[in-house]
Chain A
Amino acid sequence: MSWIDWFKSSKPRAAFLEGYVAANTEKIPGIRPIDQLTFVILDTETTGFDPNSDHVLSFGGIKIKKNILQIADSVEWYPKTDRQPNATATVHGILQQRNQLELKEFAVKLVEFLGNGILVGHHVGFDLSMLAQILKPFGLSNFLNPVIDTVQFAIRLDYGPLADLSQIAKEPYSLDQLCTRFGIQLDDRHTAAGDAFLTAQLFLKMLKEAEKKGIRTYSDLFR
């Protein structure tokens, strides 16, 4: 789409986004040690795999602060959708959930929860593009936070930062495989919050690996 279309389609930014945008314009100092950073580990379940036509059915998230996983900061939300769930929904077993949130309420809660934390997830790019669809009508087309994909992070830990991703087999880097490798029991697979919790434990353990490889600060993480 040309920039004119983009200009036409972009909506004015809703007031509730101001705090989120402001918090994310301030850059995190590169020298900040990892134990002083906040990570938001997230996962979603969706009706399908096309961000343009599919919908988010549920969102699960949890935070790591000071290298500690905070259960008090865990959430599980179900945004409202009128879309008929297709085949994936039967895998998840989420049909007509309780306590569905209106999209605006979901959006407000979501950006407040994300804050200026570092977003972490397994193939997180997909989850974020699905979530971004919900925020678009409110004037936010992309998340502004720094992002870490645990797939890439795991590969980096194995092969170093310069590894050619196209040359590496992806099977060992599925969430199931990685959890098995790191000794994490597979519970609640295929619920958003359950997967987020697994990913969070995985990431907690990967951070220790990373520390041994000299990854200690914010800038080391994104090198």
Chain B
Amino acid sequence: MNVIVNRVAEFLHRFPPFSFLEREDLLSVAQQVEIQYLEKGETLFTQGEPARPSFFVLKEGTIHLVEKTQNEEEIREICDEGDVFGVLALLGKRPYLLTSRVIQNSLIYAIPVSVFEKILEKNSRVSLFFAAGFAAGQVVVRQDLSQGQKARSVLKTQNKDHSLLIFSEKSALTISESVLTCQPNCSISKAASLMAQSQVSSIVITNADGFPLGILTDKDLRSRVLAVGLDPNHPVSKIMTSPVITQARQDDFSTIYLTMIKNRLHHLVLTSDGTDQSPVTGLISDHDIFLSMGNSPAILIHALVNAKEISEMKAIRDRAEAMLRYYLENEVAMDFVSSVMTEINDLIIKKAVEMAKSSLSEEFSALESYKFCFLSLGSEGREEQLLRTDLDNAILYEDVPDHLQEQAKIYFLTLGSQVLETLLACGFEPCPAKMMANNPDWVQPLSQWKTYFSQWISLPTPEALLKSSIFFDYRPVTGFKPLAEELTEHIYQEIRVKKGFLNFLAKSAVDTPPPLGFFKDFIVEKSGDHRDQFDIKSRAMLPLTDLARVLVLSQEVVGVNNTFKRFEKLAELEPGHAELFTQAGKAYEILMRMRAIEGLEKNNSGRYLSPTSLGKLQRQLLKTTFLPISDLQEIVRIRFQLDLFRS
């Protein structure tokens, strides 16, 4: 044991509960300590924030634990040298009840819960100590062992956050059925007085049949009437938002909710058949939703939109992961889950781009007006990135006049590098192959991107095919989207002319052998770090992704990037194989779910599963997902005449 670990151990040993530990245990704890230094005025953790994987010991300084009530903060505990706090994480994995404010510059030792849990199990004095402290001060552990009794009643109280249950219980949400309406010729002042009478924040404007024509909200009255001094005797039709986005009353909650998230709606009008050509049947507001849940996509997205610091963005993305876990464990539809996560990831990218743009606007004012598009590639491009695995992205910008070319290169590359730094700080992993917007190769004008794709298509070397598999799944996340559309159009033109390319792509899609061996056993890795593990990504997911891509490309489908949505689309286009395609889509959803759960559990990419550790049911489920692969490969083999095609 080195001097440093010893030094940390000696300090800890002076204070309970560490003083009860055997030397060996103490050293194993000391070895995992993380030390941070916070200055007066900073905050370590905040009330309501999910528990960290560590608890804390104050090495030097002073920290107040305060409770925020409506208008003020009340000091609950004062921590000095040697005090242990933030113990909730150790026991309940519940959000912090108090906020920790640094009063004097503090050196803080963080002790990972994982090392301590083992000690709690075997050392009853230590666990009693924590139980007592937990009951007494909730957070701070004092040197008083007399209150062990109280611990139990505290541990029994359940967490009352039902925020996520809403997806299994539709009834948790109230939809107002009596919707305030008026006719388009009604005056603005009349509409406002109706709203005031009913104490609601919106009014729906309908025609004689009760079909919705538009909507007027508090905010519209403020910005379109009062702010501009409009005469309130004008008819409401002059200022209403029209047409309105609608959904059917009977649509399931996730559809309704997703519409609101995607369109950033505060109010969604429900009609009897879901279009604006039927009568209004209800109204749902984001306020209703906020009231019914504590931790939800809307709240996270709302928080993201308003986040000012990168650290906030990271914290929100971390919270999104907790939500993701809940969704996965509760079998929420994958379509919804991946849409929500994509929306959150996209928003982070958009923010990162905005931040980079504004920081560069002074230096590169000549280039500001030139259009560009930030592309996500690979799994994020396919809207399938649930965990923060490898980033693949690129920048596509419009061709600039010759004299600006050099400067444009620098500008967009700097922009891309800044965006990447933000994303890395938000916890995303970099792409090992550097297919990212901070690589000069992948920050290019439209003409160069066209050249790239033309080259890959006309000369499908193994490397070109590999790049195709990543770059063909591009999706414009933010910026000027027509640039991406022009590129897509170019690609399809090229493919139409050089049909041979699809055969090469098809060939590489059927090259992966089925994931089951002759005796119906999983084909596991034979060597390396992942020996005897099953590579779910390259053996099961990648073949499906590749097959879906080549089939969709051959049908010239535009704008469907999701692997399972691609299969759905294919089922629609080819009724003859509808069943197989539907099955393949379902299989892909199951694989995504399994991989994400594994990743969340092991805190990694979830790529490698150990077949022996899977339950019987899971093994069976996994095997059924392989069934469509060989049938699909057969279809592709015949369709692209691969048996005649030897490369």
Contact = CB atoms under 8 A, between A and B. Distances in A.
A65 B20 CA distance: 31
Count class of interface residues, chain B:
20 to 34
A177 to B, nearest CB: 19
B49 interface: no
Nearest to A204: B37
A74 B5 contact: yes
Interface in B28-63: 30-37, 39, 60
A209 to B, nearest CB: 9
A105 interface: no
Interface in A177-223: 183, 187-188, 191, 193-194, 196-197, 201, 204-205, 208
Contact of B3 (A35, A60, A72, A204): A60
Nearest to A33: B425
B37 A36 contact: no
A93 interface: no
Interface SS of A by simple majority: mixed
B3 A188 contact: yes
Contact of B425 (A35, A68, A193, A196): A35
Contact of A74 (B2, B39, B425, B438): B2
Interface of B: 2-5, 7-8, 30-37, 39, 60, 105, 107, 110, 310, 417-418, 420-421, 424-425, 438
A50 to B, nearest CB: 26
B32 A193 contact: no
A162 interface: no
A12 interface: no
Given A35-B425, A71-B31, 5 more contacts: A29-B420, A60-B3, A68-B34, A196-B4, A197-B7
Interface string A61-89: 01000011111101110000000000000
B60 A208 contact: no
B27 to A, nearest CB: 11
Contacts of B39: 208
Contact of A71 (B8, B37, B425): B8
A31 interface: yes
Nearest to A26: B434
Contact of A204 (B35, B417, B424): B35
B416 to A, nearest CB: 11
Contacts of B310: 33
Contacts of A109: none
A71 B32 contact: yes
A60 B4 contact: yes
A29 B417 CA distance: 8
B36 to A, nearest CB: 5
Nearest to A211: B39
Contacts of B7: 187-188, 194, 197
B603 to A, nearest CB: 16
Interface string A29-73: 101110110000000000000000000000010100001111110
Contacts of A194: 3-4, 7
A70 B107 contact: no
A36 B421 contact: yes
28 contacts: A29-B420, A29-B421, A31-B417, A33-B421, A60-B3, A60-B4, A68-B36, A68-B110, A69-B35, A69-B36, A70-B34, A71-B5, A71-B30, A71-B35, A72-B31, A72-B33, A74-B4, A75-B2, A76-B2, A188-B7, A193-B3, A194-B3, A197-B3, A197-B4, A197-B7, A201-B37, A204-B35, A205-B37
Contacts of A71: 4-5, 8, 30-35
Nearest to B30: A71
B624 to A, nearest CB: 42
B484 to A, nearest CB: 26
